[in-house]
């Protein structure tokens, strides 16, 4: 007689298995993977604890568990995540948007005037561009990325969120930004020092795109490129706002100051970590 695997039994087994594999949130990950397999939400799982899985459902779920146990990020397995309360598709072509980056959206919205032009540098999944276009329908956003596959994901996300007609997606190098003037430039650039890449957690090191992570020898290459061009493409009074890595705030602030930007500021995230640096063209 074959063993019957109910929802609750599977969740308990998977949570224990994930914990043994070093997964940070074993029970939550188990629930999200099983909910996706059964096309339920997490409440639906709790209402169906005693439901046995069919053979095809077990096969599909076990494949998801295998991938997560190999430390593949949950968002890539599910194919989606959420940013700024908006749904986003994600693939290994793009960095998975983090909640910390929502602080950059908050700071941008404080400084964003009415109908104006915005530039999102290194758009990846399109998270920043889409959030800003969603909040400010009167703005026109240009979103650039060096990766054509990342741009394809971002364009799909823009359509998914109903802002595709107000975002121009361009394949462009950080070293040659589009001509302005822009009232706002935002960027969450690669900022991990090359030598630190090997120390990242497996989910990041082995699965997320190196192009979106590797910030050069000291992690500041992208900030130098942005600061070097900001004065030429920002409108008078326009802002450059960037996300930074831990311990980089002072150095990035100095780069913006040397580029002639004023009203410099540093914002901390909810954990008290310096997360956003910005400056204004006078």
CATH number of 91-281: 3.40.50.150
Q: Average pLDDT over the chain, rounded to whole?
A: 95
With a CB cutoff of 8 Å and minimum separation 6, the contacts of 182 are 116, 117, 118, 119, 142, 233, 234, 235, 238
The rounded distance, in Å, linking the Cα atoms of 200 and 245 is 13
Contact assessment for residue 103 and residue 267, using Cβ atoms and an 8 Å cutoff? yes
pLDDT for residue 2: 55
What share of the chain has pLDDT > 70, as a percent? 99
pLDDT for residue 113: 82
Is the full-model pTM beyond 0.75?
Answer: yes
pLDDT for residue 1: 36
**pLDDT tens digits for 211-267?**
999 999 999 999 999 999 999 999 999 999 999 999 999 999 999 999 999 999 999
With a CB cutoff of 8 Å and minimum separation 6, the contacts of 30 are 10, 11, 14, 15, 18, 65
The rounded distance, in Å, linking the Cα atoms of 258 and 246 is 21
DSSP strands (E only) in 122-172: 140-145, 167-171
**pLDDT tens digits for 198-210?**
999 999 999 999 9
Query: Span 15-35, mean pLDDT?
Result: 96
CA distances (Å), origin 55, targets 59, 61, 141: 6, 10, 48
**pLDDT tens digits for 73-96?**
999 999 999 999 999 999 999 999
**pLDDT tens digits for 107-146?**
999 999 877 999 999 999 999 999 999 999 999 999 999 9
């Amino acid at each position: 007689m074959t063993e019957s695997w109910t929802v609750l039994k599977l969740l308990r087994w998977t949570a224990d298995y994930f914990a043994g594999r070093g997964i940070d949130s074993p029970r939550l990950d188990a629930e999200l993977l099983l909910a996706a397999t059964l096309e339920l939400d997490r409440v639906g799982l709790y209402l169906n604890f005693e439901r046995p899985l069919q053979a095809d459902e077990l096969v599909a779920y076990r494949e998801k568990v295998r991938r997560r146990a190999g430390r593949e990020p949950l968002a890539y397995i599910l194919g989606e995540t959420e940013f700024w309360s908006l749904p986003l598709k994600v693939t290994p072509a793009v960095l998975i948007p983090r909640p910390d980056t929502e602080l950059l959206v908050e700071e941008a919205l404080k400084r964003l005037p009415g109908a104006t032009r915005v530039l999102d540098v290194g758009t990846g999944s399109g998270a920043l561009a889409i959030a800003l276009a969603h909040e400010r329908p009167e703005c026109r956003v240009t979103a650039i990325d060096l990766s054509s596959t990342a741009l394809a994901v971002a364009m799909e996300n823009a359509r998914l969120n109903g802002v595709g007609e107000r975002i121009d997606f361009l394949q462009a190098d950080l070293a040659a930004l589009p001509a302005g003037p822009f009232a706002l430039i935002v960027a969450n650039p690669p900022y991990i020092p090359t030598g630190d890449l090997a120390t990242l957690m497996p989910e990041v090191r082995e699965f997320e795109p190196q192009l979106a992570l590797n910030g050069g020898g000291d992690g500041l290459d992208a900030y130098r490129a942005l600061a070097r061009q900001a004065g030429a493409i920002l409108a008078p009074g326009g802002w450059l706002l960037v996300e930074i890595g831990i311990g980089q705030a002072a150095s990035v602030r100095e780069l913006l100051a040397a580029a002639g930007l004023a009203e410099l500021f540093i914002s901390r995230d909810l954990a008290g970590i310096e997360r956003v640096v910005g400056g204004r063209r006078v």
